[in-house]
Structure 1
Amino acid sequence: MTRRKATIIGFIAVLLWALLALFTVGSAPVPPLQLNAICFAIGAVIGLIWVWRTSGFAVLRRISWRVYAFGTAGLFGYHLLYFSALRIAPAAEAGLIAYLWPLLIVLFSGLLPGETLRKGHVLGGLIGFAGAALIVTRGGAGFQADALPGYGLAALCALTWASYSVLSRRLGAVPTGSVAIFCVFTAILSAIAHFAIEDTIWPDTAIGWLSCISLGLGPVGLAFYVWDVGVKRGDIQLLGVASYAAPLLSTLALIAAGIAEATWPLLIAAGLITGGAALAARASATKS
């Protein structure tokens, strides 16, 4: 596989993640843990078919249990926080805060051995967090008290995925097929936790079922596998910059579907978060 082809494959993940908020809203009233279980069960099937058709299942036995535990914790934690945030806070605003993860990845990676935290990283961080502050304060209109818990979960969501992504660099090269096992374990954990603390609520409309299935097939399924191919075999810097378009695309998708209103504070916040992350990415690509 060429570097260019792998990069194009990786970019598919960015497009799929832009639909994550839209499908999550459409899946209501399914509880977060139940939704986690459904989506990752579908994602696991996709991955297991991938492994069967490419490398075979034997390759999975050579991967350390620590890698499986780490990957499962990252996927389980991120999506539980994300689904929960969008259930109790406005989807567009919570989604934008959650999409601070590309920016946090740039900032955190600058603290790793051999990396440098440059002025562009700091400036980009300030711009991105200004966008998040604009969301929380509703453009200066004051706090929406009942949405603050959801915004907090969205912030933890961004922190979780950024930490997972940066720390995963220390695991070395791991076959893409390992993601299938991450999905299997995440689905099992989610199902156990769901039956322990949630009431089972199935979608009550065709749109609800379609949203759940679409989540599992795309943003919470195929996206993980194509992203893994992209970052391991493609141009990771180009993919990193491309991922900063996700919050803007996600917001536009919600507006187009009539779920979010195209207010100036929301559009400005989307621009600040996307622009701040892009600035930080540029700083990473520039040698000091």
Structure 2
Amino acid sequence: MSKNLATLIGLSAILQWSAIVGLLKRISFSIGADYAVTFMYSISAIILLLLFRIPNLKAIPKKYLFFATALFVVYELCFSYAIALAQTPQQAIEISLVNYLWPSLTVAALILFKELKFNIFVVLGLAVSLSGIVLIQTGNGAFSSTAVLNNILANPVSYFLAFLGASLWALYCVITRKYSNGHNPIAFFFVVITVVLWAKMYFLHGIPALPTIQAETAICMLMVSFVTALGYAAWNIGIIKGNITLLVTLSYFSPLVSSVFSMLILQTSLAPSFWHGAILVTVGSFICWISTNWPHLKEKIRHAQ
């Protein structure tokens, strides 16, 4: 497989993941948050098992396997339930933007773990990203801390889960970079998530009575499962065999791409302030990335001249 083809496949992962928010919200409107999340991960786990199978767990460092599995599972649950529990389509899209704080938080975590040197521009990037979230919460009116707080308190669980998920994913990225030794037990992670979800369903509700699923909901369910599973598969190909620098750079535009996909799938409109906020989240993440890669970028620019 050529490097360019692998890069294109990796790019498809960004597009596939961008459809998750809208599709998952449509399913949860129809059959509820619990069933939507459980079915999505169950079908995704089957797809990933067919693609990758369960890896040789004995070859993976035990501490990494334990902590990475816990972080991955809790992150995925936080993200999916944050979206599924959103009260309106617009709120689901707004909450998804909170999740996209993870690139900036990852850079901050790398500094805390002494993987990167402190850079004042990282603080600037974090501030810009957070200001984007605040701007979205103010709507079209002037800034008001009361308005921001009231908007979050309208559905505090979803906003808390989204922010917690972004923080956990940042920590997961750091741990994977430091301790994975190149292993990627993604199929195992999804099997664990599926077991946890069905166990939760059983202990809270007993043997569940499966809901009636309309044809449209079933199609959305299959679509969201495929884009979730194949997105991870495509991303792995991209970062292993493609141009990882280009992929990482393009991934910072995910908030904007995801918002467009979600708006179309959920058939809703978004205020100008939302797009301004989404741009700030993207720019803030990009500033963090540039600040930590500037020496390498400067060297490339010098050689190009």
Is residue 2:158 matched to residue 1:150? yes
Aligned equivalents of 2:233, 2:102: Cα separation in 1? 19
Aligned equivalents of 2:181, 2:3: Cα separation in 1? 17
Aligned equivalents of 2:72, 2:55: Cα separation in 1? 23
Aligned equivalents of 2:291, 2:86: Cα separation in 1? 35
Is residue 2:18 matched to residue 1:23? no
Q: CA deviation at 1:115?
A: 1.5
Partner of 2:238: 230
Q: 1:171-223, CA deviations, whole angstroms, 9 ceiling, x for partnerless residues? A: 233344x211111111111110122235666364323222222221112x112
Aligned equivalents of 2:156, 2:116: Cα separation in 1? 34
Partner of 1:88: 86
Q: Is the 8 A contact 1:237 1:285 kept in 2?
A: no
Q: Is the 8 A contact 2:28 2:35 kept in 1?
A: no
Of 231-240 and 207-216, the range deviating more from structure 2: 231-240
Aligned equivalents of 1:238, 1:107: Cα separation in 2? 21
Is residue 2:59 matched to residue 1:62? yes
Partner of 2:187: 180
Given the alignment, which residue of 192, 201, 226 partners 1:217?
226
What letter matches 2:96 in structure 1? G
Is residue 2:295 matched to residue 1:287? yes
Aligned equivalents of 2:94, 2:212: Cα separation in 1? 24
Is residue 2:247 matched to residue 1:239? yes
Q: CA deviation at 1:132?
A: 1.0
Q: Is the 8 A contact 2:68 2:175 kept in 1?
A: no
Partner of 2:198: 191
Residues 287 and 58 (structure 1), Cα distance of their counterparts in 2 relative to 1, 3 Å cut: closer
Q: CA deviation at 1:240?
A: 1.9
Partner of 2:121: 120
Partner of 1:253: 261
Aligned equivalents of 1:270, 1:203: Cα separation in 2? 36
Is residue 2:69 matched to residue 1:72? yes
What letter matches 2:86 in structure 1? I
Q: Is the 8 A contact 2:55 2:188 kept in 1?
A: no
Residues 65 and 242 (structure 1), Cα distance of their counterparts in 2 relative to 1, 3 Å cut: same
What letter matches 1:116 in structure 2? K
Aligned equivalents of 1:65, 1:36: Cα separation in 2? 28
Aligned equivalents of 2:276, 2:209: Cα separation in 1? 38
Q: 1:80-117, CA deviations, whole angstroms, 9 ceiling, x for partnerless residues? A: 21222221341111011111112222232233334123
Q: Under a length normalisation based on structure 2, what TM-score does the superposition of the two structures give? A: 0.82
Of 38-47 and 151-160, the range deviating more from structure 2: 38-47
Partner of 2:178: 170
Name the larger-Rg structure: 2
What letter matches 1:43 in structure 2? S
Partner of 1:208: 217
Q: CA deviation at 1:251?
A: 1.0
Q: 1:8-54, CA deviations, whole angstroms, 9 ceiling, x for partnerless residues? A: 332222111111111111111444444333222222222222236xx
Superposition RMSD in Å = 2.5
**Structure 1 gap ranges (5+):** none
**Structure 2 gap ranges (5+):** 297-305
Aligned equivalents of 1:37, 1:147: Cα separation in 2? 22
Q: Is the 8 A contact 1:33 1:191 kept in 2?
A: no
Tell me the SS of whatever aligns to 1:287: helix
Q: Is the 8 A contact 1:230 1:239 kept in 2?
A: yes
Q: CA deviation at 1:64?
A: 4.2
